[in-house]
Amino acid sequence: MVATPGRRVLAAAAVAVLAAVIAGCAGGSTASTHNDSPGLVMINTSKYKGNIITPGVKPTTVLIDTAGKPFDIRAMTPDDVTLLFFGYTHCPDECPLTMASTAAALRMLPAAQRAKIRVLFVTVDPARDTLARLRFWLGRFNPAFIGLRGTEPQVQAAARQTGIPVSSALLEHGTEMLAYGTDNIAHEAFSPSTPPASMANDLRLLVSGHHP
């Protein structure tokens, strides 16, 4: 699954969301490079407001969640709409913006729909992102967000299955958040600049079982 680099236009609303949370999310941030995935063909549709991509299956990698337990990404989210993002907690821009926008989008949904959505954040910086650090950082956005950690080979294995480029050594990662439907297939992706209202619109469709 590959994506063409897109223009990053941070709308005023998105910047406001980020400003409200960035102070508590980037403690001692380190400069990094973010890469758009090389090749996901992105097209807008009439119903979906995110970016439609070449479909890809949910990865089968087993990582460790913030409770210290093994977490098989595909096996443990079989009937859920799953949002998957690779990043790190010291990220100064795209990572906190994406998490803040996702949290805002979920607040627009009724509880019954929120209960069918899982948000997974896989760290590409396991040297600094301890399980405790992941839990604290994600909790500032939404306590239900699931942090996942693994060795560099494990994280690379998960990333390869998605087509998202990551590098733990350089702290590089693609900026797309993949959205998997109840069929365990990613049909679309959200960028850091996707407005929360657009995310909420698409999540409603995915929860209902409608796929692009």
Q: Which domains does the chain have, with CATH numbers?
A: 12-207 (3.40.30.10)
Give the tens place of pLDDT for each residue, 110-161.
999 999 999 999 999 999 999 999 999 999 999 999 999 999 899 999 999 9
Contact 180, 84 (CB under 8 A): yes
What dihedral do alpha carbons 182, 121, 102, 144 form, nearest 10°?
80
Q: pTM here?
A: 0.79
Give the tens place of pLDDT for each residue, 71-122.
999 999 998 999 999 999 999 989 999 999 999 999 999 999 999 999 999 9
Contact 120, 146 (CB under 8 A): yes
